[in-house]
């Protein structure tokens, strides 16, 4: 008797699998055990009603070394920086450069402290605002690195606590960023 019941159940399962629309039957099962049963239809996958659709839009990546201006206006535009930090590494001689400029004109270049004029601080603020430093996008470094190439990390901090660091390598620097780097590297030179 048990063997015949098993054959009937197995046959029913095989027939259910041969259904044309591959939808599992949703026949209610009576619970005779007295314990709550899980919802049998919750685990049944829903059939799709057509072919899958895939996005065909291509993502356009910028050409390396091209600055993409921010899409929206920078929230703190016009607000002066509290600190600009430049770290340069690499190059043929491998001599690092560390420049820290504060909003009050205090300059620390490789550990030596000096001051710059308020005009220089204003000039750097204007350069940062013109390029939209906090919202700009782009690829400013290549794949892999070479010891002969300078790598620049520029960090700008605002009094509000907002900060952003941009990393760039020689050969991938757009003109706007190159002008800022030139000014920062020239600060405190003897």
Per-residue DSSP letters for 23-65? PPP-------SSSPPP-TTTTSPPPPSS------PPP-PPPTT
In this prediction, residue 25 carries a pLDDT of: 47
| Average pLDDT rounded to a whole number, residues 21-46 | 52
Task: Give the total number of structural domains in the chain.
Answer: 1
With bands split at pLDDT 50, 70 and 90, how would you rate the model's confidence at 3? low
Q: Between 81 and 137, whose confidence is greater?
A: 81
In this prediction, residue 91 carries a pLDDT of: 85
| Residue 171 falls inside a structural domain | yes
With bands split at pLDDT 50, 70 and 90, how would you rate the model's confidence at 97? very high
Taking alpha carbons only, the member of 75, 66, 13, 88 closest to residue 175 is 66
User: Which residues pair with residue 102 across a beta bridge?
Assistant: 83
With bands split at pLDDT 50, 70 and 90, how would you rate the model's confidence at 29? very low
| Residue 54 falls inside a structural domain | no
| Residue 126 falls inside a structural domain | yes
| Average pLDDT rounded to a whole number, residues 126-138 | 89
Contact predicate 163/156, CB 8 Å: yes
| Residue 130 falls inside a structural domain | yes
Q: Between 143 and 46, whose confidence is greater?
A: 143
In this prediction, residue 23 carries a pLDDT of: 47
CATH number of the domain residue 182 falls in: 3.30.1560.10
With bands split at pLDDT 50, 70 and 90, how would you rate the model's confidence at 127? very high
| Residue 11 falls inside a structural domain | no
| Residue 7 falls inside a structural domain | no
For the cut 80, the answer to whether the pLDDT of residue 188 exceeds it is yes
- What average pLDDT does the chain have? 78
Tell me the residue range of the domain where 119 lies.
83-186
| Average pLDDT rounded to a whole number, residues 137-155 | 84
d(C-alpha 43, C-alpha 136), whole Å: 47
For the cut 50, the answer to whether the pLDDT of residue 64 exceeds it is yes
In this prediction, residue 139 carries a pLDDT of: 81
Structural Rg of the chain based on CA atoms: 32
**Other CB atoms closer than 10 Å to residue 95's CB: what's the count?**
10
| Residue 107 falls inside a structural domain | yes
| Residue 49 falls inside a structural domain | no
d(C-alpha 84, C-alpha 97), whole Å: 14
């Amino acid at each position: 008797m048990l063997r015949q019941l098993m054959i009937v159940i197995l046959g029913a399962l095989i027939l259910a699998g041969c259904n044309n629309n591959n939808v599992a039957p949703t026949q209610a099962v009576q619970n005779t055990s007295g314990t709550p049963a899980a919802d049998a239809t919750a685990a049944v996958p829903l059939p799709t009603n057509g072919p899958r659709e895939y996005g065909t839009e291509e993502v356009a990546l910028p050409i390396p070394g091209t600055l993409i201006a921010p899409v929206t206006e920078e929230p703190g535009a016009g607000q002066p920086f509290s600190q600009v930090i430049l770290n340069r590494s690499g190059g043929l001689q491998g001599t690092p450069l560390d420049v820290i400029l504060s909003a009050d004109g205090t300059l620390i270049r490789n550990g030596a402290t000096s001051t710059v004029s308020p005009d220089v601080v204003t000039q750097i603020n204007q350069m940062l605002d013109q390029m939209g430093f906090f919202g700009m996008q782009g690829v400013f470094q290549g794949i892999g690195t070479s010891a002969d190439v300078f790598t620049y990390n520029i960090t700008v901090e605002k009094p509000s606590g907002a900060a952003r660091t941009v990393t760039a390598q020689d050969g991938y620097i757009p003109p706007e960023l190159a002008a800022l780097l030139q000014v920062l590297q020239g600060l405190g030179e003897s």
